[in-house]
Structure 1
């Protein structure tokens, strides 16, 4: 048997081998695989698979296409390292062999059976843990993303099993006195399943036992109104009797709760989990000084010091965190905890707080038997163990505040440092919070990193080191990959690497080797988390070769209104895939993209959009610049007319500013206009380039911007020839 495959159906359909995702291409393959996973070890007929894929309208070649899908799945599994066949042919169809592999749905049902058996034996604690382990298999709606009239009933069955297991688990937890912890979970579940009586009964009981009697009665009234309005029925016996018991404060609602067994903790352990930091580090002195401010807050001990380092992919968030953490580790004698939360990992799902807490508790000396099952209990024990201690907690690559919140100590003597790409606004704003948004490394700092690795003895052309630094666009990850390539290729010199990186078509290839996939692996997760419209705008920015642009240019690229474009631009800013700067001329907002991200965006556009879509987007944007430049020329001549053809792409304020001072507007846009003229010429849009250059030259001639005017004159000469 080759490598084990992990099949996931309790959530999105996924396959993994050794923790690495195995891609399943195409909806047909996913449907076929889902059908086989829903009947592991049993034959699924070809006719059933055909109906599952095409419902009642299968093509004449349906059976052949099913065979092609199965062959594709077999090939994919072998490529993932699985030596033996997972899917075998058995008349009248195919069979998936579950032996040696993991199917989360099978494991879920096995654990449910185990939990119910333990409960019957009177082992409530063990039963609760088994229920929790079973429910922990779920990552979303069963088989989400796979549709069809055969798959959907099976998904509904699994969902019903989950809800029933949750109800049974909740009954045990209520008996153990966890009513306060359950209120939030049950409130959300009641909103999702408002007609499920047992869930509502559990919520009412949890509210009552938490001293929230009025809320418990209100939960009953809300449920009764729903039952009457939607079903024409009164609530069932369970809800009615519970309501009556709450009204009269029946003592039966307050059971005797057994004390939990004491937590077993081994001899005092001082964790030292910080990974080594690289010696290839330069600059960031101001940022390190800012982080040092957390030390005084920790010494004070009044509020929990929390530092948050954010920025675009590859900007060096993790390295800065580790550099600072190692420098101050001695200030935290009770230990340093570290975890990569995998928030933006291309190949791994984000770690759950439940699993991270288990690892932290083990590091703090808690035995496996002493680790609670529930998240709230683990978090409480974690905070108790850190109480009064000086521990540094580094949470790298966080996906969300929900992932981070249970991992925050409750004591101000500790200190937390978080890195991530999202805003995590809930993490900030307190008296002990510090936020750092990292920008690119400076030119000299970047060149110093290249020189330090590539020419420790002073050899090599310094100009080549500077050029490599420029091509890496101030991204520490790009610089590390580039210098690592020089170290691994001793026969390369700086000039050779410059030649490779100057080829735009292969630049990302050269910078996506090693470092767990390099730049593409860093960029892709942020891109794939964008909304479809924001992703489209990002791609189209990649086909526009301008140094910076205003919001109306984004509207032109998408052929939408400016407000909609501004909303999408904000999404790109929040994802750190775009930067904002203020114009030196008039203070207006301009957008720009890191040069390496621009190359990545261009690649995405080439892969995901056809040439016609790309050209049309560029031509709309070019036309917007031309219309504004024409209006600026007319205004400069005293005959201003607002642009009409693409007026929806400009705000009234921009049009008014253009009319009021066309020369100032042109000074703001001059670099972008030059870039548009050049790109238009490359695309063969000669007339557009000529008209834009002549309009801009006429405006610039009276605004004392000599260099740009001379360049436009030169371009006009090239066009004329």
Structure 2
């Protein structure tokens, strides 16, 4: 069998037994790129369509995708004698690379081997492996292939490329060869002037080459740029290195004699102040307390994961509890916001977090390894035998938090995030704390803390109704309370009446560019395209709850596929599971504010024709269910605008 080599680390290129293959037009290249980005995994027709036509697909999109795939199959059959390289796999296609090679996989394997060599102290071998990995790059990844999904993957690959270039430079500095690195690092810093690790390497290379003035100038240029463009000072790593250069510190003269040595630790106290309006959550606090008692003295690490929809109070609960138990962790408390769902700030990498954590624990800048694996190992070593409480707020993935996990059972980690992270459960014993709406008696208490007990207590019925209109969601209640504070002439009943209209309610609870709508929007945009479509179409149904068949109907797809998507919405806390009519019946429902948001998205993103088609399929399926005698509540549907 002839061997195909697929190259993505540069312009898309395919060679079979060394001979180049002509891939056809832009659509063929985009489809092939999408399949190669996740080899061995099914890529749905919807995802391919969105990649090929990001601004809107024609009615014949599915047929055109099928024609392009057929063309690629013929191409590979003619060139390599293999017609099953791309196979159909519902709901799309998969590329099978058994016996073939792809440069992204080769790159990842070499990088993994290099990092393992670092871990075992084989610096020269690691340096050679990094060099071999970097030699696979021929320019910008997938240069010439366009599409939003493609661009996202290109950005990820380019970020990894830069990380490896920086790691490689750090190793070469450790090996004592600074002079040849200066030109290479100068180019890297010029191309990416805000990358602090690359700038730190260049400063150190200048210094070790006897160019102290140039080292200080590189820092000054970087600082001026950051202050001018971002309004911030350089990070502690860069500032610390600058101070060491000014002092001619001896540790800058060469690589550390024992880079793994553990310094005497500090006692960090990084917990932010708990919200003064924190209210209730008695069962959740009790569960967290029991976790410490039940796990005391055991070897497994103590881990809690708090999840829930935007605005439900995850961070407030984590910080409030952490402050209550801080004295049980005499070796310190670490806190970081990982910005998992914050569009205004970049996702915080574990590499950067470990740098800050290690400094907080007393590790000098010169002793912090230049690679993620080394930093994570040193972090575990520093924490060994200590009692430290670590709060990882706003996490998005297991990849983001795994390097930040201690290795012993005396520490405690509290993680907050909007979705349940399944990989976390498979690696650690985790207390899962899923946050729902506040208890009916707690919500008015929160309002009273914000707007005053006398004001809220003067009309308890209106306060209770206001709480319900806010879905007893802490964020919505805080906004409502702030509205009352800023409008002292409004009664509680007046604000309640303003929220009665569903069309007005979301606007009232979403001041400026923030509030409830913005929080929900971040979770919505994190869904895959087909998940977003299901979410917003379900918002068209005026029913308190629905069974899995409803999701299949609105998507016009297989019920099992639709149920899998529904579970994705459940994991993201965008819909809730409620008891069904029988022991084997699953039902789902929206909170009212979430339902209003879903309907808004449907009316903004689906045409009137699409909305009518959704509801027609739903009514047809409903008739079939009723014809079989399946219990189902009376349902009505909205195809038009939200009332008001």
* TM-score normalized by the length of structure 1: 0.54
Partner of 2:587: helix, strand, or coil?
strand
How far apart, CA to CA, are the structure 2 residues paired with 1:160 and 1:276?
34
Where do residues 23-34 of structure 1 align in structure 2 (5 Å cutoff)?
A: none
1:270-307 CA distances to partner (integer Å, 9 max, x unpaired)?
Answer: 21111111122222111111111232255314221111
How far apart, CA to CA, are the structure 2 residues paired with 1:680 and 1:528?
23
1:224-259 CA distances to partner (integer Å, 9 max, x unpaired)?
Answer: xxxxxxxxxxxxxxxxxxxxxxxxxxxxxxxxxx87
Partner of 2:441: helix, strand, or coil?
helix
How far apart, CA to CA, are the structure 2 residues paired with 1:339 and 1:681?
44
Name the residue aligned to 2:19.
Answer: none
Of 457, 469, 472, the residue aligned with 1:471 is 469
Name the residue aligned to 2:491.
Answer: 493
How far apart, CA to CA, are the structure 2 residues paired with 1:282 and 1:259?
50
- The verdict on how the C-alpha distance between 1:367 and 1:683 changes in structure 2, with shifts beyond 3 A counting, is closer
Q: How much does 1:440 deviate?
A: 1.7
- The verdict on how the C-alpha distance between 1:532 and 1:262 changes in structure 2, with shifts beyond 3 A counting, is closer
- The verdict on how the C-alpha distance between 1:176 and 1:438 changes in structure 2, with shifts beyond 3 A counting, is farther
Tell whether the 8 Å contact from 2:524 to 2:532 is kept in structure 1 after alignment: yes
Where do residues 32-181 of structure 1 align in structure 2 (5 Å cutoff)?
A: 142=141, 147=146, 162=161, 166=165, 169=168, 172=171
Partner of 2:343: helix, strand, or coil?
coil
How far apart, CA to CA, are the structure 2 residues paired with 1:535 and 1:446?
30
Tell whether the 8 Å contact from 1:340 to 1:397 is kept in structure 2 after alignment: yes
Name the residue aligned to 1:279.
Answer: 276
Tell whether the 8 Å contact from 1:270 to 1:334 is kept in structure 2 after alignment: yes
Partner of 1:328: helix, strand, or coil?
helix
Partner of 1:300: helix, strand, or coil?
coil
1:356 maps onto 2:353 in alignment: yes
Q: How much does 1:447 deviate?
A: 2.4
Q: How much does 1:141 deviate?
A: 6.7
Q: How much does 1:175 deviate?
A: 8.9
Tell whether the 8 Å contact from 1:464 to 1:495 is kept in structure 2 after alignment: yes
1:571 maps onto 2:568 in alignment: yes
Name the residue aligned to 1:370.
Answer: 367
Q: Gaps spanning 5+ residues in structure 2: where?
A: 1-8, 11-122, 177-254
Q: How much does 1:614 deviate?
A: 1.3
1:371-399 CA distances to partner (integer Å, 9 max, x unpaired)?
Answer: 22111111122122212211100001111
1:477-510 CA distances to partner (integer Å, 9 max, x unpaired)?
Answer: 2212221222233232212221222222232222
How far apart, CA to CA, are the structure 2 residues paired with 1:161 and 1:385?
27
Partner of 1:309: helix, strand, or coil?
strand
How far apart, CA to CA, are the structure 2 residues paired with 1:581 and 1:569?
13
How far apart, CA to CA, are the structure 1 residues paired with 2:569 and 2:500?
27
Q: How much does 1:513 deviate?
A: 2.7
Name the residue aligned to 1:601.
Answer: 598
1:84-113 CA distances to partner (integer Å, 9 max, x unpaired)?
Answer: xxxxxxxxxxxxxxxxxxxxxxxxxxxxxx
Name the residue aligned to 1:503.
Answer: 501
- The verdict on how the C-alpha distance between 1:407 and 1:145 changes in structure 2, with shifts beyond 3 A counting, is farther
Where do residues 399-410 of structure 1 align in structure 2 (5 Å cutoff)?
A: 399-410=396-407
Name the residue aligned to 1:21.
Answer: none
Name the residue aligned to 1:45.
Answer: none
Of 298, 305, 312, the residue aligned with 2:309 is 312
- The verdict on how the C-alpha distance between 1:475 and 1:161 changes in structure 2, with shifts beyond 3 A counting, is closer
Tell whether the 8 Å contact from 1:264 to 1:367 is kept in structure 2 after alignment: no
Q: How much does 1:431 deviate?
A: 7.2
How far apart, CA to CA, are the structure 1 residues paired with 2:415 and 2:144?
32
Q: Gaps spanning 5+ residues in structure 1: where?
A: 1-9, 12-123, 178-257, 632-657, 685-721
- The verdict on how the C-alpha distance between 1:162 and 1:586 changes in structure 2, with shifts beyond 3 A counting, is closer
Tell whether the 8 Å contact from 1:297 to 1:303 is kept in structure 2 after alignment: no
Name the residue aligned to 1:396.
Answer: 393
1:531 maps onto 2:509 in alignment: no
Name the residue aligned to 1:555.
Answer: 552
- The verdict on how the C-alpha distance between 1:499 and 1:570 changes in structure 2, with shifts beyond 3 A counting, is same
Q: How much does 1:519 deviate?
A: 1.6
How far apart, CA to CA, are the structure 1 residues paired with 2:259 and 2:287?
42
- The verdict on how the C-alpha distance between 1:611 and 1:160 changes in structure 2, with shifts beyond 3 A counting, is closer
Tell whether the 8 Å contact from 2:302 to 2:409 is kept in structure 1 after alignment: yes
How far apart, CA to CA, are the structure 1 residues paired with 2:276 and 2:609?
48
Name the residue aligned to 2:412.
Answer: 415
How far apart, CA to CA, are the structure 1 residues paired with 2:565 and 2:489?
46
- The verdict on how the C-alpha distance between 1:300 and 1:554 changes in structure 2, with shifts beyond 3 A counting, is same
Q: How much does 1:624 deviate?
A: 2.5
Tell whether the 8 Å contact from 2:603 to 2:641 is kept in structure 1 after alignment: no
Q: How much does 1:369 deviate?
A: 2.6
How far apart, CA to CA, are the structure 2 residues paired with 1:608 and 1:680?
13
Q: How much does 1:145 deviate?
A: 9.5
How far apart, CA to CA, are the structure 2 residues paired with 1:404 and 1:364?
18
Name the residue aligned to 1:428.
Answer: 425
How far apart, CA to CA, are the structure 2 residues paired with 1:311 and 1:597?
13
Q: How much does 1:403 deviate?
A: 0.9
How far apart, CA to CA, are the structure 2 residues paired with 1:681 and 1:402?
42
Partner of 1:372: helix, strand, or coil?
coil
Q: How much does 1:405 deviate?
A: 0.8
Name the residue aligned to 1:583.
Answer: 580
Tell whether the 8 Å contact from 2:450 to 2:478 is kept in structure 1 after alignment: no
Partner of 2:394: helix, strand, or coil?
strand
Q: How much does 1:423 deviate?
A: 2.6
Of 471, 481, 499, the residue aligned with 1:483 is 481
Of 322, 337, 342, the residue aligned with 1:340 is 337
How far apart, CA to CA, are the structure 2 residues paired with 1:455 and 1:432?
42
Give 1 or 2 for the bigger CA radius of gyration: 1
Please identify, of 442-451 and 390-399, the stretch whose mean Cα deviation from structure 2 is larger.
442-451
Q: How much does 1:586 deviate?
A: 5.6
By relative contact order (CA 8 Å, sep 6+), the higher-ranking structure is 2
1:201-236 CA distances to partner (integer Å, 9 max, x unpaired)?
Answer: xxxxxxxxxxxxxxxxxxxxxxxxxxxxxxxxxxxx
Please identify, of 326-335 and 615-624, the stretch whose mean Cα deviation from structure 2 is larger.
615-624
Partner of 2:453: helix, strand, or coil?
coil
Q: How much does 1:261 deviate?
A: 4.1
Q: How much does 1:262 deviate?
A: 4.9
How far apart, CA to CA, are the structure 1 residues paired with 2:485 and 2:365?
44
Tell whether the 8 Å contact from 1:312 to 1:576 is kept in structure 2 after alignment: yes
Tell whether the 8 Å contact from 1:301 to 1:411 is kept in structure 2 after alignment: no
Name the residue aligned to 2:112.
Answer: none
